[in-house]
Amino acid sequence: MALPDRAPAAIELRGIDKRFGAVHANRAIDLVVRRGHIHGIVGENGAGKSTLMAILHGFYQADAGTILVNGQEATIRDSRDAIRLGIEMVHQHFMLVERFTVLENVMLGAEGGPLLARGAARARAELRRLGAEYGLGVDPDARVADLPVGAQQRVEILKALYRGAGVLILDEPTGVLTPQEADDLFRVLRALRDQGRTVLLITHKLREIMAVTDRVSVMRAGRMVAHRDTGATTPAELGELMIGRRLAAPTPLPPMPAGPLLLEARGLSVRDKAGVERVSRVDLALRGGEILGIAGVAGNGQGELLEALAGMRRPAAGEIRLAGETVFPAGRFDAALLRRKGIGHVPEDRLRSGLLRQDNAAATAILGHQDDPRWRRGGLLSPRAMAAHARRLMRDYDVRPPDPALRSALFSGGNQQKLILGREIERDPKVLLVGQPTRGVDIGGIDAIHQRLLAHRAAGRAVLMVSVEIEEILALSDRILVMCGGRIMGELAAAEADERKLGLLMAGIAQEDAA
Amino acid sequence: MTEALDILLPILAATLRLATPLLLAALAGLFSERAGIVDVGLEGKMLVGAFAAAAAAAVTGEVMLGLLAAVAASCGLGLVHAFGCITLRGSQVVSGMAINIIASGLTATLALAWFGLGGQTPPLSAAARFLPLSMPGAEILAGIPVLGRLYASLVGGQTALVYLALLLVPVSAFVLARTRFGLRLRAAGEHPAAVDTAGVSVTRLRYAGVLIASVLCGVAGAYVATAQGAGFQRDMIAGRGYIALAAMILGGWQPGRILLTCLLFGALDAAAIRLQGVVLPGIGAFPVQAIQALPYLLTVVLLAGFMGRALPPKASGQPYVKER
């Protein structure tokens, strides 16, 4: 398997440095990746992992430092250079042309001549061979748009192998996969390693590092802080290295007496603009003092459900009751009305619908509550009152930097989220709807946000949380609903839930079938 | 039989003649949009091409020099569009509209300055125009009643550019579907980042798409001024560039279907000319404008209801910016 240490490293980085304006994304990075290893790189969001890999793949150029490939100094100015050196990347957002077939995607950039016909025969044969060798079977004539996400990822890997990747970089490859699909991916990665190829796995999930890597490097705030053999480390140690302090072990939720029924949906269906049913006859009930987690692979209707409950989308059918009052179907149904009646909403896509990117933090801090008399003076908004309010929120919710005049887009993901969360919780909503509470948030921020959600629960309010992070769902929820294909696949109490059960439900396999 | 042929043949022949500039321009739009660059400047590039062709042909008396001048002029404008849209990442629609406005003013001004004929070029002699070609063996076949006439005035009797335009339909289809260049060009219009990460330059592909479009627009312009007409007149493209754009959309960005829509629009145009001045009982003079509006109406109605949704290249209209 792994070659002796004397062989030249597949990749060696020395003193790689990269700045984007004021942001020092990579500081003097050293890294040795042995050939035939699966090498993990972990770090919080924003630690500089993706930048480092983009430099290795030629997407950016380092300001300083050298790259050695197989012991030879290499210049990587663009993707073409990287490909020539056998370095291929599977991007987090797939680089696949959806309207092309698998074959066309694999051939793009490596067509083997000005006419496609000749190269196509070769590519077909090679795809068959690679498919059999690594368990990467995909129909070469299928359109990529018609393939499930897991298969699309296999196409990306095939594409890399077809071009002769000696080093394969995977950037957060499991974000869009169910746990079972992730296990399949790991099998493929192990097969690649056993054939002598080198895999670089970038992730922030420690479970994956422990499951599949041989060696792991930890990044924090643009620096490489540690290298470990995976067998000689623990998730706890890696977690501490990632955030630079000790992590509290997850604690069971303190029990809460069952509160009044605050939110109820019956037979709720939601269609998108094209008329496709995204949410199908969903029933749910939510009581005070409870966090209901909605799990599922991204894009299975959770987002649409959340938007319907928040009043942003009109359901196609069904009923919604808020604290006993029917709010749908009723004469008027919109987000402003529901907010007045006690719904708070932290939207899934914070950049699109949670804040005013180009406006300052003070504006974001009153967004959706702009009619509140607290910052109205004679029919106009008072900038001074808005700024005072924003400063108060920033202090209470530890938003940094606490500057109401700063453009919303310039805050880090975690601080944007804390500001939005503060804005919504500050009004003490009966029901707080939260979508992807910690997407793009660093670990320190995650903890603060989780504490806020738990505090809202402890105050006897109800929280409905949609998240694709299974760990988050398991850590915070009293009950868990799993969605797949717009339906509720099953409900689990927190005590009986684990990753395996959730994974099967997320994949659309009902409990009876799984048993 | 012969009477029906007497009416039908001229209309069919006119259909081909009128469809040709639409076809050339629509294929131009196709190559540009498949590469991801929206081209509303077809009209302007055709106009500049028409003027350059007529001016060069009038001065030199050589029709081929006219064609070359048309292509060069159109490519000049195309490069402005490409630089603005690809290199500077500006708005493609705004740039295209600017090209149309520049072309309209520039051609009229230059024509007045150079020739002083009220914004026209001098009428072209026969040598400075594309003339209808007679098909080999047309005289021999002339004896056969229907076939002979069809062969002489529909298959034959057209200018070289008509045949060129028709030939370009299968050629375009082949290039797009079966060649490395076509695959990359289409990918650049669908998902440019995928092209970039495959080690291929998006910028070069998009420039190539715009340049091919410019060459075709130049030919289309030369056709209007030196084959269909005999000289340049102010704003003589008269909306054909926009109709070509409609034909491209209605043709679903596919060469074969674009040919069909261009023929349909050409037939409508031929019918409109034929019906000009015809007095209908009860209505009066035939409303030719109604037919002239049909291409636009058809495009809207057919796209809205009957043909399902036409899918434009996914990334067309979007400048390619490397993202973090």
**A412-421, A478-487, B261-270: which has the minimum mean pLDDT?**
A412-421
Domain that holds residue B296: 2-306
pLDDT at B308: 54
Q: How confident is the model at residue A515 (pLDDT cuts 50, 70, 90)?
A: very low
Measured in angstroms, the CA of A490 and the nearest CA of chain B are apart by 37
Return the residue of B nearest to A81 by Cα.
B199
pLDDT for residue A1: 43
With beta carbons under 8 A apart, name residues in chain B contacting A89: 197
Q: What is the per-residue pLDDT for A5?
A: 55
Strand ranges, E, within A188-276: 198-203, 215-220, 223-229, 261-271
A110 contact B CB<8A: yes
Task: Give residue A147's pLDDT band: very low, low, confident or very high (50, 70, 90).
Answer: confident
Residue type at B147 in one-letter notation: L
> Is A109 within 8 Å of B196 when comparing Cβ atoms?
no
Residue range B162-169: mean pLDDT, rounded: 96
Is the Cβ of A18 closer than 8 Å to some Cβ of chain B?
A: no
Q: Domains in chain B: how many in total?
A: 1
Q: Does B199 touch chain A (CB under 8 A)?
A: yes
Instruction: Tell me if A322 sits within 8 A of A263, measured CB to CB.
Output: yes
Would you state the pLDDT for residue B323?
54
* Percent of chain A topping pLDDT 70: 95
Q: Residue A368 has which token pair?
A: 């959706």
pLDDT at B16: 93
In this prediction, residue A70 has a pLDDT band, given cuts at 50, 70 and 90, of: very high
Asked if the C-beta of B183 comes within 8 angstroms of chain A's C-beta atoms, the answer is: yes
Contacts with B197 from chain A: Cβ below 8 Å: 57, 59, 79, 89, 91, 95
pLDDT higher than threshold 60 for residue A2: no
B184:A115 CB<8 A: no
Give residues with Cβ within 8 angstroms of A123, minimum separation 6: A103, A106, A107, A112, A140, A162
Binning pLDDT at 50, 70 and 90, where does residue A294 land?
Answer: very high
What mean pLDDT is predicted for residues B267-293?
80
Q: Do A79 and B180 touch (CB under 8 A)?
A: no
* Mean pLDDT of all residues in B94-121: 93
Q: B235 in contact with A at a CB cutoff of 8 Å?
A: no
Mean pLDDT score of chain A: 88
Average pLDDT over residues A277-292: 93
Sequence-separated (6 or more) residues with CB below 8 Å from residue B308 = none
> Which of B180, B191, B196 minimises the CB distance to A111?
B180
Model confidence at A248: pLDDT above 70: no
Residues of B in contact with A107 (CB under 8 A): 183
Res A247: pLDDT: 54
| Whether residue B64 has pLDDT greater than 80 | yes
DSSP reduced 3-state for B278: coil
Torsion, Cα of B27, B30, B35, B40 (10° steps): 100
pLDDT-derived band at B256 (thresholds 50, 70, 90) equals: very high
Q: Band the pLDDT of A412: cuts 50, 70, 90.
A: confident
* B194 in reach of chain A (CB within 8 A): yes
**CATH code of the domain containing B223:** 1.10.3470
Residues B131, B159 contacting (CB under 8 angstroms): yes
Q: Dump pLDDT digits (tens) for A151-166.
A: 899 999 999 999 989 9
Domain ranges in chain A? 11-243, 261-353+389-398+408-514
Identify whether B323 is part of a domain: no
> Are the beta carbons of A108 and B198 separated by less than 8 Å?
yes
The predicted structure's pLDDT at residue B211? 98
- Does the domain at A261-353+389-398+408-514 match CATH 3.40.50.300? Answer given as yes
Q: A109 contacts in B (CB within 8 Å)?
A: 184, 195, 198-200
**B57 within some domain:** yes
Q: What's the confidence (pLDDT) of residue B305? A: 62
> Taking residues B110-135, what's their average pLDDT?
88
Q: Give the confidence band of A83 by pLDDT, cuts at 50, 70, 90.
A: very high
pLDDT grade for A137, boundaries at 50, 70 and 90: confident
Quick check: B62 contacting A, CB < 8 Å? no
In a domain, B243, yes or no: yes
| Residue B307 pLDDT exceeds 60 | no
Helices (H), chain B: 2-34, 42-60, 63-82, 92-115, 138-141, 145-150, 160-178, 180-190, 192-197, 202-223, 240-250, 255-275, 288-301
Question: CA of A117: which chain B residue's CA is closest?
Answer: B178
In a domain? residue B207 = yes
Q: Is A265 a residue whose pLDDT tops 90?
A: yes
Confidence of residue B10 (pLDDT cuts 50, 70, 90): confident
If one compares A318 and A354, the residue with the highest pLDDT of the two is A318
pLDDT value of position A283: 95
Q: Do A157 and A91 touch, CB atoms closer than 8 A?
A: no
Whether B176 maps to a domain, the answer reads: yes
How is domain A11-243 classified at the CATH fold level?
A: Rossmann fold (3.40.50)
Decide: helix, strand or coil at residue A295: strand
CA distance A134 to chain B (A): 22
**Residue A97 to residue B191, Cβ atoms within 8 A:** yes
Q: Which of B211, B222, B210, B165 is nearest to B47 (CA)?
A: B222
C-alpha pair distances (Å), A424 with each of A353, A427, A428, B106: 13, 6, 7, 58
Percent of chain A with pLDDT over 90: 54
Mean pLDDT of B104-124: 92
| A-chain residues near B179 (CB < 8 A) | 114-116
Whether residue A46 is predicted with pLDDT greater than 60 in this model: the reply is yes
- Inter-chain CB proximity A111 and B193 less than 8 Å: no
Q: Do A98 and B199 touch (CB under 8 A)?
A: no
Q: Amino acid identity of B263?
A: L
Residue A512's pLDDT is 54
Q: How many helices (H) and strands (E) does chain A have?
A: 17, 22
Q: What tokens appear for B258 in the block? A: 């674009």
| Tokens linked to A89 | 């990347």
Q: How far are the Cα atoms of A234, A494, B308 from residue B302, in angstroms, in the given order?
A: 63, 54, 8
Instruction: Tell how strand A325-328 and strand A198-203 pair up.
Output: unpaired
Confidence of residue A321 (pLDDT cuts 50, 70, 90): very high
In a domain, B314, yes or no: no
Q: What ipTM did this prediction achieve?
A: 0.90
The mean pLDDT value for A410-435 works out to 90
Backbone phi and psi for residue A265, each to the nearest 5 degrees, phi listed first: -125, 140
**pTM attached to this predicted model:** 0.78
Q: Is residue B115 part of a domain?
A: yes
CB-CB neighbors (< 8 A) of A82 in chain B: 199
Whether residue B148 lies inside any domain: the answer is yes
Position A289 pLDDT exceeds 50:
yes
Which of the four pLDDT bands, split at 50, 70 and 90, describes residue B44? very high
Supply angle C-alpha A271, A273, A276, rounded to 5: 45
Reported confidence tier of residue B324, pLDDT bands at 50, 70, 90:
very low
Q: In what order do the strands lie in the sheet with A167-171?
A: A87-90, A167-171, A198-203, A38-42, A215-220, A223-229
Test A100 with B179 for CB contact under 8 angstroms: no
> Is the pLDDT score of A392 beyond 90?
yes
Question: Tokens in use for B181?
Answer: 């260049």
Q: B interface mutation test: which of A108, A122, A171, A351 has the most B CBs within 10 A?
A: A108
Contacts of B181 in chain A (CB under 8 A): 114
> What's the gap in Å between the CA of B133 and the closest CA on chain A?
34
Q: Which residue of B has its CA nearest to A156?
A: B194
Q: Which of residues 70-99 of A touch B (CB under 8 A)?
A: 78-80, 82-84, 89, 91, 95-99
